[in-house]
């Protein structure tokens, strides 16, 4: 009975640890979980303004290109993107990651989007949602053709917020975002659960050893 109890505890702890570690991660990529703030003209390409029920346009894995050919204006493709199409200035969008993004060797963040040839937007990252550091910029693209632009955090660790902010406001400067993703930081809670599990297993093995010595 004691053996079954300990094995059950270990299984539950390992399962909980795995669940915590993979909660917002799909295919090894940590995708944005929600939108924390955005300006008044953030919309999909069709012109529908974003609201609390349409934040899924930019959360999770890319989903606008139904046939996977990189062009999102084909019949059957979804308008699950959000950005700016008008020439209004001061447009921005902030996405949040429940599990932070890690600063690894090479690129740390990928943004899937398309924009006009004159598009320009600054990209910022933050660990706390207050202090932002610019990590790069998005510049001109081909309308309707998705691209994945990569960015390096360059020493900024455990990023939970990414902000894109419009710079260019003239003709052909619209940008629409499909997804934000990066490498997940291991959750401290996962490590704690695993450490507890390993500790319990060690105690069990020690008790069994002592018991065998006494009975012997």
Radius of gyration of the chain (CA): 23
Under a CB-based contact definition with an 8 Å cutoff, are residues 178 and 112 in contact? Answer: yes
Residue by residue, DSSP assigns 37-100 as EE-TT-B-TTSPBP-TTSGGGSSSS--S-TTSSSBTTSTT-----EEE-S--SS-EEEEEEEEE
Instruction: Give residue 102's domain range.
Output: 25-183
Shared-domain flag, residues 16 and 113: no
- pTM here is 0.77
Shared-domain flag, residues 52 and 142: yes
Shared-domain flag, residues 114 and 146: yes
Query: What is the pLDDT tens value at each position of the chain, 216 positions in all?
Result: 444 333 333 343 333 333 333 447 998 999 999 999 999 999 999 999 999 999 999 999 999 999 999 999 999 999 999 999 989 999 999 999 999 999 999 999 999 999 999 999 999 999 999 999 999 999 999 999 999 999 999 999 999 999 999 999 999 999 999 999 999 997 654 444 334 433 444 443 444 444 544 555
């Amino acid at each position: 009975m004691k053996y079954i109890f300990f094995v059950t505890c270990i299984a539950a702890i390992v399962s909980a640890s795995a669940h915590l570690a993979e909660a917002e991660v799909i295919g090894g990529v940590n995708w944005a979980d929600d939108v924390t703030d955005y300006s008044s003209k953030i919309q999909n390409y069709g012109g529908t303004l974003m609201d609390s029920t349409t934040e899924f346009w930019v959360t999770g894995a890319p989903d606008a290109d139904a046939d996977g050919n990189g062009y999102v204006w084909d019949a059957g493709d979804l308008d699950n993107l959000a950005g700016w199409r008008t020439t209004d200035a001061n447009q921005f969008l902030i996405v949040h990651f429940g599990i932070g993004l890690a600063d690894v060797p090479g690129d740390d963040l990928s943004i899937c989007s398309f924009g006009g040839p004159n598009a320009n937007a600054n990209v910022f990252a933050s660990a706390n949602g207050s202090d932002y550091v610019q990590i790069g910029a998005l510049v001109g693209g081909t309308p309707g053709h998705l691209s994945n632009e990569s960015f390096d955090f360059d020493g900024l660790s455990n990023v939970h917020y990414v902000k894109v902010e419009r710079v260019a406001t003239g003709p052909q400067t619209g940008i629409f975002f499909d997804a934000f993703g990066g490498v997940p930081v291991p959750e401290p809670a996962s490590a704690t659960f695993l450490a507890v599990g390993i500790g319990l297993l060690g105690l069990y093995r020690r008790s069994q050893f002592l018991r065998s010595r006494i009975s012997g």
